[in-house]
Amino acid sequence: MKTIYEDMGLQRVINACGRMTALGVSAIHNEVAEVLVKAAQNYVVIDELMDKTGELISIYTGGEDACVTVCASAGIMIAAAACIAGDNWNCIKKLPDSTGMKNEILIQKGHAVNFGASITQMLRMGGAVPVECGQVNLVTREELETAVTEQTAALLYCKSHHCMQKGMLSVEVMAEIAHNHGLPLIVDAAAEEDLHVYLNKGADLVIYSGAKAFEGPTSGFITGRADLIKKCKMQYHGVGRVAKIGKEGMTGLVKALELYSKKDEKREQKRQQELVGKILEDLKEFPFIQGEMSRDDAQRLIYRAKMKFSPDSPMTAQTVMEKLKEGNPAVYVRGHEAQGGVLYIDPRSISEEDVKSIINKLRAVLKEDAQDKGE
Ligand SMILES: *Cc1c(COP(=O)(O)O)cnc(C)c1O
C-alpha cells in the first residue's frame, strides 16, 4: 500500500537510522492513532487535561509530577525558564530577557551538543546564559564547583550518544554539586528509554522526548519535583506559548507510555537480534562489506548491523549511503561513522520486508558502480 507521503509525490522512506527527527522520528501504533483522533474531535479544559496528563505520566516515571511539552527541546527551554523566572509573573512575562534575574545554567563542555539544533540555544530561549565548564573531553569537579556563582540558576546534564562519552562528571556528582548549593539539576534524556534512573540518581527535572524511545506522537515531557513542575507549567503563559502542545498530543503520549510500559523488552531485543542476524547473513554476498552485530555506543539496548567497508571497496561508505537515499523507496542507513568506512542498519523501525528492500537496493547501488566501470 502506498504511504500518504507517496500520494503527495514524495519518496517512501525505509528508516534504518533510528529515531531521527529528519525522517519523522517514529511511527505510532494503531491504539495511539485511535486516541489521537478521539482527542482531536472533542473539547476539554486544557489546564485540567495538562494536570491530568502530568499525573498519568508520573505513574510511569515515579516523579512527583510531570509537565507535558510539544518536544524535548521545548522541555529544555521551559525547564530553564522555570529555574530562572520561577513563579514570578513579572519575570515569566519578561523572558527570554532575564536581566536582573539569576540566569546562569552550567553545562559540561562535552555536553554542549547539537542534536539537530544547539542545546545551549534552547537554554537561551528560556532566558538562560549558558556557562560551559571545563574542556570538551575533560571536566573536573573543581572546574564545575568554581563555576557556581550568585548568578547560577541551575545545572544541566545531557545524556546522549551525541555527548562526549568520557571525561565528563556523572549525574550523581552533578546532583551533589547542585544540591550543595541549593540548586536544581536538570537532565536532558531526550532519546533515553529508562524513565527512572536519572530521578533516582538525584536529578530534580528530567526531560524526555515522547516520539523517540516511546514511539508517541510529536510530544515530550519534564518529570520530577512537584514545586518545579508547577513552575514549568506556568511558563505556558510566557515563552512556553510558542511551544504549545495540542490535546491530541497529550492524550496520545499517555497512551504511548502505557503501551511502552507493557512492552516485552526481551521479545523486542530478540526481534532486533534475529533481524540483524538475517541482515548479516544477507550481507555475505558483498565481498567488500564485513558485517557484525554491534551494541549501541550510549549503552542503550539496541543492536545494529554494522557494515564495515574494506579499504579496497570500489565505492566508499559515504557514496553508498548517499546512493541508497535516491529513488523510491529511499533507504536511510545510520552514517555517523561513514567517514571511517562504517555504516549501520538500525532494526528498530524496519520489518523483514524492509530488509529485502535494503539488500536489493544495496545490490543495485553496488552493481551500478560495476557497470559504470564497464565491468
Ligand atoms: C532529540 C534530542 C533533543 C530534542 O528532542 P525533540 O523531542 O526532537 O525536541 C534534545 N536533546 C537530545 C540529547 C536529543 O537527542
Spell out the per-residue pLDDT of the chain, length 375, in tens.
789 999 999 999 999 998 899 999 999 999 999 999 999 999 999 999 999 999 999 999 999 999 999 999 999 999 999 999 999 999 999 999 999 999 999 999 999 999 999 999 999 999 999 999 999 999 999 999 999 999 999 999 999 989 999 999 999 999 999 999 999 999 999 999 999 999 999 999 999 999 999 999 999 999 999 999 999 999 999 999 999 999 999 999 999 999 999 999 899 999 999 999 999 999 999 999 999 999 987 777 899 999 999 999 999 999 999 999 998 999 999 999 999 999 999 999 999 999 999 999 999 998 876 665 554
For residue 244, the CA-to-ligand 1 centroid distance in Å is 17
In Å, how far from its chain's centre is CA 252?
Answer: 18
Q: How far apart are CA 267 and CA 320, in angstroms?
A: 32
Spatial separation of the C-alpha atoms in residues 258 and 271, rounded to whole Å: 21
In testing the pocket of ligand 1, which one of 19, 21, 122 has its CB within 8 Å of the most ligand atoms? 21
Cross-strand pairs, 133: 108
pTM value is: 0.93
What pLDDT score was predicted for residue 7?
A: 95
The β-bridge partners of 303 are 295
Query: pLDDT of 55-64, one tens digit each?
Result: 999 999 999 9
Measuring CA to CA, which residue among 87, 88, 89, 82 is closest to residue 127?
Answer: 82
Asked if 225 contacts 184 with a C-beta cutoff of 8 angstroms, the reply is yes
Mutate which of 209, 253, 336 for ligand 1? The one with the most ligand atoms within 8 Å of its CB, which is: 209
Cα–ligand 1 centroid distance for 153 (angstroms): 22
- pLDDT tens, position by position, 242-263: 999 999 999 999 999 999 999 9
Distance 313 CA to ligand 1 centre (A): 35
Question: Do 332 and 350 meet the contact criterion of CB atoms below 8 Å apart?
Answer: no
Q: How many residues does the chain have?
A: 375
DSSP 169: P
Residues with CB under 6 A from ligand 1: 21, 71-73, 115, 158, 160, 162, 188, 190-191, 209, 220
Burial class (CB in 10 A: 0-12, 13-18, 19+), 174: buried
CA of 18 to the centre of ligand 1 (A): 13
Using the mean position of ligand 1's atoms as its centre, give its distance from the Cα of residue 190 in Å.
Answer: 5
CA gap 71, 93 in Å, rounded: 22
Compute the distance between CA of residue 161 and CA of residue 98 in angstroms, rounded to an integer: 31
Task: Provide the pairing of β-strand 289-295 with 220-224.
Answer: unpaired
Give DSSP secondary structure letters for 235-301: GGGTGGGGGPPPHHHHHHHHHHHHHHHH--HHHHHHHHHHHHHHHHHHHTT-TTEEEEEEE-TT--S
19 C-alpha to ligand 1 centroid (Å): 10
In this structure, are residues 346 and 334 in contact, taking their beta carbons and an 8 Å threshold?
yes
Give the HSE-up count for residue 198: Cα atoms under 13 Å, Cβ half-sphere.
29
Mutate to test the pocket of ligand 1, among 20, 70, 71 (most ligand atoms within 8 A of CB): 71
Please state the atom number of ligand 1 nearest to the C-alpha of residue 162: 13
Closest ligand 1 atom number to CA of residue 73: 9
Q: What distance in angstroms lies between residue 151's CA and the mean position of ligand 1's atoms? A: 27
Residue 235: what are its φ and ψ, rounded to 5°?
-65, -15
Atom of ligand 1 nearest to the CA of 122: 10
For the CA atoms of 70, 75, 80, 84, the dihedral, rounded to the nearest 10 degrees, stands at: 60
